[in-house]
Amino acid sequence: MKSSSKAVVKVLEHKREEGAIAAHIREILRELGEDPKREGLLATPSRAEKALQFLTSGYTADIHKIVNGAIFNERCDEMVVVKDIEFFSLCEHHLLPFYGRAHVAYIPKNKIIGLSKIPRIVDVFARRLQVQERMTQQIAACLQEVLDPLGVAVITEARHFCMMMRGVEKQHSSTTSSAMLGEFRRRKETRDEFLSHVRHQGLAGW
């Protein structure tokens, strides 16, 4: 499957063969010098397979089923912001986790989406082998596609284990990426309003 910043709404057609990943994990354990038959590792290959299937379940998610008709006609053209959406993903370069928060906004064009659908859309693109920059673009493109709003903005903030556990081993650095579409790209005032919402603590301190 080709990597792309374009939102993917089709279900991945590849069918996973049960146990295939576990067999490879077993071989990896041997190559690491471990004994996959010892008590503590007996169930590790199957556990790892289930974990990887969950962490990459975004490949088989169907956006249309997730949205499930939760788009409503509403005379509304003011900014809608859902912020501090937790996400966990896997870096495609090292297969190590990165995690953080996503802040998502859109300006309706007489259509709104059920609020719970926005975190679900974030999860669809987080639960893949990813780079943060592409994930951010995909979330924005997906909302633009399903809602056709006046604009979409997405900011993600994350910590990357590939920088924390190995390589430069920097424990306190974080990465921010953004995607601005429509009015958010065209109008500085709109971007500034979005950024003011993101910076505001809101209910987080309750």
- The confidence band for 3, taking pLDDT boundaries of 50, 70 and 90, is very low
Q: Choose, from 34, 53, 76, 162, the residue flagged as catalytic.
A: 162
**pTM (2 decimals)?**
0.89
Nearest to 50, CA basis, from 17, 86, 79, 22:
22
Interval 165-182: pLDDT, tens: 889 888 888 999 999 999
Catalytic site residue 132? Answer: yes
8 has a pLDDT exceeding 60: no
Q: What is the CATH T-level fold of the domain 66-201, as seen in this structure?
A: GTP Cyclohydrolase I, domain 2 (3.30.1130)
25-39 exposure pattern, b = at least 16 Cβ within 10 A, e = fewer: bbeebeeeeeebeee
Average pLDDT over all residues of the chain? 90
Q: Bigger pLDDT: 87 or 205?
A: 87
Q: Choose, from 18, 74, 92, 145, the residue flagged as catalytic.
A: 92
- The confidence band for 69, taking pLDDT boundaries of 50, 70 and 90, is confident
- The confidence band for 21, taking pLDDT boundaries of 50, 70 and 90, is very high
Catalytic site residue 200? Answer: no
Interval 81-126: pLDDT, tens: 999 999 999 999 999 999 999 999 999 999 999 999 999 999 999 9
Q: Choose, from 130, 138, 160, 183, the residue flagged as catalytic.
A: 160
Q: What percent of the chain has pLDDT over 70?
A: 89
Question: 149 pairs with which residues across the strands?
Answer: none
Q: Choose, from 49, 103, 130, 132, the residue flagged as catalytic.
A: 132
CATH 3.30.1130.10 domain span(s) along the chain: 66-201
Catalytic site residue 94? Answer: yes
pLDDT of the residue at 15: 66
Q: Choose, from 76, 94, 133, 197, the residue flagged as catalytic.
A: 94
Q: Choose, from 24, 64, 93, 200, the residue flagged as catalytic.
A: 93
Catalytic site residue 160? Answer: yes
Q: Bigger pLDDT: 115 or 8?
A: 115
Catalytic site residue 162? Answer: yes
4 has a pLDDT exceeding 50: no
pLDDT of the residue at 200: 72
* Residue spans of beta strands (DSSP E) within 33-190: 71-73, 80-91, 97-107, 111-113, 129-130, 151-160, 175-182
